[in-house]
Amino acid sequence: MPHAIPVGDDAAYAEAHAAFARAHPGYASPELDAERAHDFSRLDRSGDVYLDYTGAGIYAESHVREHAELLTGRVFGNPHSTNPTSLAMTERTESARRAVLAHFHADPEEYVAIFTANASGALKLVAEAYPFAPGGAFLLTYDNHNSVNGIREFAHARGAEVTYAPVRPPDMRLDDGALRRALDAPGRGGRRLFAYPAQSNFSGVLHPLAWVGRARERGWDVLLDAAAFAPTHALDLGAVRPDFVTLSFYKMFGYPTGVGALLARRDALAVLRRPWFAGGTIAYASVGAPRHDLHEGAEAFEDGTLNYLALPAVEAGLRRLANGRQAAIDARVMALTGWTLERLVALRHRNGRPLVQVYGPLDMDGRGGAIALNLHAANGALIDHREVERRANAERISLRTGCFCNPGAGEAALGISGDELASCFGAHDRMTIDTFRGCLSDKGSGAVRVSYGRASTFADAFALVRLLQDFRT
């Protein structure tokens, strides 16, 4: 057995692994096997089964060592100066910026890379500076992270129309007809922003990148949330040209945390109007004669001092995805996800009723490496996702439960209607998760999400299936 995790009977594991290898030859990667053994061996030593890559990537030990060696071997100062240590850091900052653009095949004449604290920070930069106004519009999909949903508050406050395009259960894909009608609706004079995720952080669905071009052809600015997509999929901004792309680097390679990016087309960036200025963003500011002028490009949006010592680690992380490594990760993740779906759908109670309900596609057509699911008892009753998490925790299996900061996808998956929500909200002055669960106890308040990534192995998938099959009666 390749590592010490709770997979159960050795013979059953060996038989399943051999069948898996025959059915999924794309999983094989000596390079990733070696990386698992050398850079992620702590998973094996601790017995942890990590299945929350959509929540955060796992950092490679050599990545952390390389960064530590750089910091202990050099002296770096705040880049907002021209002394030797500041200039040394400025060069590292700009090198990281160039590496980000190169990784996403973004022409630096067309795009700029703005460093932020995370993807949410990047989204807020767009939200607070986008010229929403009466006659303008904000179109977004039900399937969106809350940090995208929050943009609607800026749109509402400035008089723009806000519209949600639905997703259709059970496969959780966008309703193409409804989205097309929304995009085709004539504008009313103001600017219009369309926001959606390249990959759902709830269901793992890959939403078509073709919507970027279709929306832009119809006069929309497009914000693409790539936070869940970028860790395992290549995004080519030379071929797909959204106006704004948001991401977090810890989701891509685990380290460093506290750094994300907004990749913005230069012409789209020129449309934004920042509501304030801060240190680092201005060419100059005066108090005696109140006036300020912002820098041009990325600097105008990087408030204060960047997390500059972390930026060399971003460049190092991107190098670890180069030379075909990301494609190998993608192939491995797809193989594991496909095998897991096959096994979950086959799990049944003795009376023949299915144990697992999957929210999203049951095959690998247009989906990524995250699976949202719930378990049902033999009588059809929903098993509380918190009980699944409790038993997973006891086996040192790290998965995630709840709605994953994506209430729209959760409501659609669980079949919770707008009327039910309005009735629930109307009965309480302030909603908490416990009161919400009480309102909708028959439908549940969330799901279980498992997601694969760079260091995942067949043993991890086998341990998950073994855990879930023990819920059968």
Catalytic sites, residue numbers: 405
DSSP alpha helix (H) spans, 219-289: 249-253, 266-269
Distance, in Å, from the CA atom of 94 to the CA atom of 298, rounded to the nearest integer, reads 11
**Number of Cβ within a 10 Å radius of residue 441:** 11
Cβ atoms of 29 and 44 within 8 Å: the answer is no
Write out the E strands in 29-81.
49-50
298 contacts: CB under 8 Å, gap ≥ 6: 97, 112, 113, 114, 115
Cβ neighbours around 342 below 10 Å, total = 15
Q: Which residue has the tokens 């960064």?
A: 67
Q: Which residue, among 29, 60, 58, has the nearest Cα to 319 in the 3D structure?
A: 60
**How far are the Cα atoms of 3, 15, 20 from residue 10, in angstroms, in the given order?**
11, 9, 15
**Which distant-in-sequence residues (6+ apart) come within 8 Å of 19 by Cβ?**
none
Measured CA to CA, the distance from residue 152 to residue 163 in angstroms comes to 9
Residue 359 backbone phi and psi in degrees, to 5:
-100, 100
Number of H helices, E strands in the chain: 19, 18
Helical H segments across 271-324, by residue range: 311-319
For 408, the token pair is 């729209």
CA 329 from centre of chain: 16
Classify 331 in phi/psi space as left (phi over 0), alpha (psi -120 to 50) or beta.
alpha
Scanning the structure block, which residue is given the tokens 């993740």?
Answer: 333
Collapsing DSSP to helix, strand or coil, 2 comes out as coil
Asked if 22 and 369 count as a contact pair (C-beta separation under 8 A), the reply is no
Question: Can you spell out the DSSP letters for 166-196?
Answer: -EETTTTEE-HHHHHHHHHSPP-SS-EEEEE
